[in-house]
């Protein structure tokens, strides 16, 4: 029986190519969702147990709901485009000339103020006025120079784009499906244990009576194996038991512990009924001859 992991690995390369062909993360999420839907459909088509089918649907539905987490990680690409800034006709901007003129005037005023104070040694120079003019001139000249450098400088258009990694998505999905297979295996085991417990109830239980009846029908049919009707009856009963996960085992030396042995010859008179390698009802054999 195919597992979720084997079904995924069967079309893994095709899935990976599909992811790589998607233009964005949202499209990748849709592709992953479609892949999980196909895997679930194929798995449940070949699964016989209704309990396992329901568990597979529940698990993969949870995985599909969580696919949006793919958008929470990935590779960020930065795109930038530079282009010359358009200059205004007439050369430099009025702001440049205004700042330049103000800077020259303030600086010249500070120099003249200093010269006047030097000539009139007896007078105290107003230091606050001098420093104010000097600072104002420096600031105006600085910004006028900055404005001059920006004229004709290239500006850039920067854009970012985050794209999920297809290889990582593929590896993580494989791990998720492997975990899901383990969970489904546990569900299948629990179902077999529950079925066995139902069949191993006390002898007055309905299931034990049904098992005894089927064993008796098999014994009757085995006494006349050459009859077409008997062979058909054996086939139907074995098929019914198989669907209940119960197998019929004919006598062999290796399985002699599962049989009551009668004197004489004849081999298997009634097959043993076994579930998951555990004996449910002993078989009957004659003389130990196969």
Tell me the HSE value of 165 on the side-chain side, using a 13 A CA sphere. Answer: 8
- Region of 288 on the Ramachandran plot (φ > 0 left; ψ -120 to 50 alpha; else beta): left
Reported as a single tens digit per residue, the pLDDT across 165-184 is 778 888 888 888 888 888 88
- Considering the domain architecture, whether residues 114 and 177 belong to the same structural domain is answered as no
Number of neighbouring beta carbons within 10 Å of residue 7: 20
Instruction: Tell me: pLDDT of 122 over 50.
Output: no
Residue 163: DSSP 8-state? E
Task: Report the side by side order of strands in the sheet with 247-249.
Answer: 247-249, 272-275, 278-281
What average pLDDT does the segment 232-254 reach? 87
pLDDT given for residue 257 in this prediction:
86
pLDDT given for residue 88 in this prediction:
47
The answer to whether position 160 is within a domain reads no
pLDDT given for residue 116 in this prediction:
64
The answer to whether position 159 is within a domain reads no
pLDDT given for residue 77 in this prediction:
59
Reported as a single tens digit per residue, the pLDDT across 125-146 is 555 666 666 676 676 666 666 6
The answer to whether position 81 is within a domain reads no
Reported as a single tens digit per residue, the pLDDT across 79-102 is 555 555 544 444 556 665 666 666
What average pLDDT does the segment 7-32 reach? 86
What average pLDDT does the segment 73-78 reach? 57
The total of structural domains in the chain comes to: 3
Structural domain that includes position 53: 4-73+165-196
The answer to whether position 211 is within a domain reads yes
The answer to whether position 65 is within a domain reads yes
pLDDT given for residue 150 in this prediction:
60
The answer to whether position 80 is within a domain reads no
Q: Concatenated DSSP letters for 100-114?
A: HHHHHHHHHHHHHHH
């Amino acid at each position: 029986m195919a597992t979720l992991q084997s079904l995924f690995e069967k079309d893994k390369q095709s899935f990976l190519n599909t992811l790589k062909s998607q233009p964005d993360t949202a499209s990748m999420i849709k592709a992953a969702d479609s892949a999980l839907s196909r895997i679930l459909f194929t798995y449940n088509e070949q699964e016989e147990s209704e309990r396992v089918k329901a568990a597979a649907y529940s698990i993969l539905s949870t995985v599909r709901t969580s696919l949006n987490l793919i958008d929470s990680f990935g590779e960020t690409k930065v795109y930038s485009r530079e282009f010359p800034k358009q200059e205004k006709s007439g050369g430099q901007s009025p702001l440049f000339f205004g700042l330049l003129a103000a800077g020259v005037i303030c600086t010249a005023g500070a120099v003249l103020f200093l010269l006047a104070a030097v000539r009139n040694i007896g007078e105290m120079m107003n230091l606050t006025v001098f420093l104010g003019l000097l600072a104002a001139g420096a600031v105006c000249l600085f910004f006028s120079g900055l404005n001059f450098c920006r004229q004709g400088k290239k500006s850039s258009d920067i854009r970012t784009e985050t794209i999920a990694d297809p290889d990582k998505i593929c590896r993580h999905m494989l791990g998720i499906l492997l975990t899901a297979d383990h969970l489904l295996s546990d569900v299948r085991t629990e179902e077999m244990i529950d079925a066995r417990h139902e069949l191993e109830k006390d002898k007055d239980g309905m299931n034990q009576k049904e098992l005894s009846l089927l064993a008796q029908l098999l014994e009757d049919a085995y006494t006349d194996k050459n009859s077409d009707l008997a062979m058909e009856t054996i086939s139907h009963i074995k098929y019914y038991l198989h669907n209940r996960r119960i197998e019929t085992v004919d006598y062999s030396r290796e399985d002699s512990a599962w049989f009551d042995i009668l004197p004489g010859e004849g081999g298997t008179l009634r097959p043993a009924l076994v579930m998951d390698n555990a004996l449910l009802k002993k078989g009957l054999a004659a003389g130990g001859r196969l």
